[in-house]
A and B are shown apart, each in its own frame.
Chain A
Amino acid sequence: MSRLITLLTALMALTAAGGLYQLKHTVEQRRDGIEALAERIAEDGEAIRVLEAEWAYLASPQVIQDRALRYLRLKPIAPHQMASSLAVLPFRTGDKMLTGAGSDGRVLPRPRSKPRAPERTIAIAQRGGGHLAAIGGTPAKRAERPQAADDFHVRMARTLKRLEEGVR
């Protein structure tokens, strides 16, 4: 009887020791895993910082403005080009009439008169040889847009065409 108890106890002790060792080993492995993970998180965090800084640099207003002047035929938005809601848009007349508009014979509202252009800008621009046009809001580098911009369009068109052919 007492031998059996001793045997059982010894067995239990061995099992417990084995289990404990296994557990300890697993915990150590996990800890190593966590450390490696934390290191990677720190590395990724640093990479994100670098990318965010680079993004901020590349999306800096000055950089975008230079690109826009170089490659886009866009002008700054003028006050008369903005509408706050659909209600202020005038109906179109003639063959371009909006569906349903005026079909019941009602007289269409007259289109809103075209707002005046900023006279000051034009006046000063003519007088000052374009110096002040910049302050009035027209990009100063308009006239000296580099030839490369046109090349860019041509190249872009060519590339797109080639891509389309490639797809077919």
Chain B
Amino acid sequence: MESLEQNYIDGVMGSKELLLYDKIGDAIINPPNAADWEKKALTGVVKPDLIAQLKVSPDMFSDALLMVGTSFLPPFPPLQVESIISQQPYTLIDAINLLRTSEKSVTNTCSAFRDILDKQDPKWLDKYRKAKMLVKHCVTVEVSGRIIVREFESLTSDNIEYLGLQLPAELYHYLSKAMIGPRLMNSFVSLQSIVFPTLDGVVSDEYKHLVTRDLVELKEEAAALIASRIHRGYQFKDINMKFWFDDSLNTGLTHRNMHVKVNQVTDAWLVQDTDLKAQEKAVGAPSGKISFAALTLQNKDFAASTISKEKSEKPEKREKAAPLNTKPEILSNALWRLFHLRKFTNDQHELTSWGKALATTLKVIAPEIQKHGDVHHLEEAAFLAFELIRFNILNSANRHTELIGGPLRGSDSDKSNCLLIGRTSCLLKLRHGNIGYTGPLSKNFLSFHTLIKAVRETDRDLLEAITASMFLNHQANRLSRDGKVRNDFGDLGRRYVLSLRYFNTFANTIPTAFHS
């Protein structure tokens, strides 16, 4: 602002690192200390005077300023070593003297003190170089509000390394409308995907296997769907996984090789409303529901017709598909894309064995869905049941007799039968007065609930990634028919399955009950 012709401000107050930026005019005002208040006076630094006094070039001046440390670069470690700089704390002059002894080059100074750097901060030189580039290409805002990168013409292609990246505003909009939750975006912003402590705190072998092995691929697919639609820099960034139960585990979400595959799978589903309506009667379930998605694909002709014409094997038949508009279109295609990624359907869009098993279950339970609607969330439960069976979770193994609240009566096989039936029922909902849960407790089942929750959250993230990528890629229309930005993003987020709310008063009371 100081460099602008129009006088918006009279001076800049702040730390000395501001002198690094040539756009900051000649002087900075030091923030007042207690003595300044007493004296009713301010002090400041005039950059050309300081440079003249120190008898250095402007380049060397800024190198020394970086070496003493800034908000984005730690100080050069040897400066803090008393055998090198006897008078601590070190000053800017000490940094200049170190530079002078090594031909005024920071690189040479680093090699001169390699032994200290190796011990304390082996990557300091790299950090310094990034800081230097950050200053050179600092991001500023113009009066018009335009955000510019300084010396844009000479910006290097690896600028993500020092400037960092912001996710597109579009994703923040979907987050603000609750069409997507924060987990996916967090993992891109921080490049970390954190598995948080569970309610039961039990780290069983099957839990470990699930979160450190089996679910990783699903998370990678979700990351790949988003990464391939945003800045290229993200496509080559792996995301580190952190686990609450073991700091030393080092698993990464390596999504860079999956971009083509996940998009090939998802892009092939762009079924339009007219085709959906025709199917609703045939299967007796409304479009956008899991039953609809599974039962319609039992019809092989319909399954074949769902392959997007853009993806036709014969080039002469390929044509650009119109973007999806209505909620049923978006919900149905999102579910089919999820089915496909989760291998409930194959590349011909026919049901796989898992898909057929799910369809069978949904067909058998259909009368109950008709009768009770969604109160027990039966459809979602059926989907999760087969996800859990596939991950070797929903069975009668791993009985954990050490955790109280498992079946105790009858023969051994009675117990294991009872356990499997109970576990399956964990996927459904008990209708209970809105006063907090009052029934029996079970740590054994709470521990099983953790496994369900891990799978459910991961599937939900994948579904969110599918939906967000649909919009980011303009396969779904961001505008409603009147040309305005559609206002049903939040409704979409709530309507698609595996919705965000899985905590409840009951689950929260259990650990208290067991730990007290």
Does A associate with B in a complex?
Answer: no
Residue numbers of B with Cβ under 8 A of A are none
Residue numbers of A with Cβ under 8 A of B are none
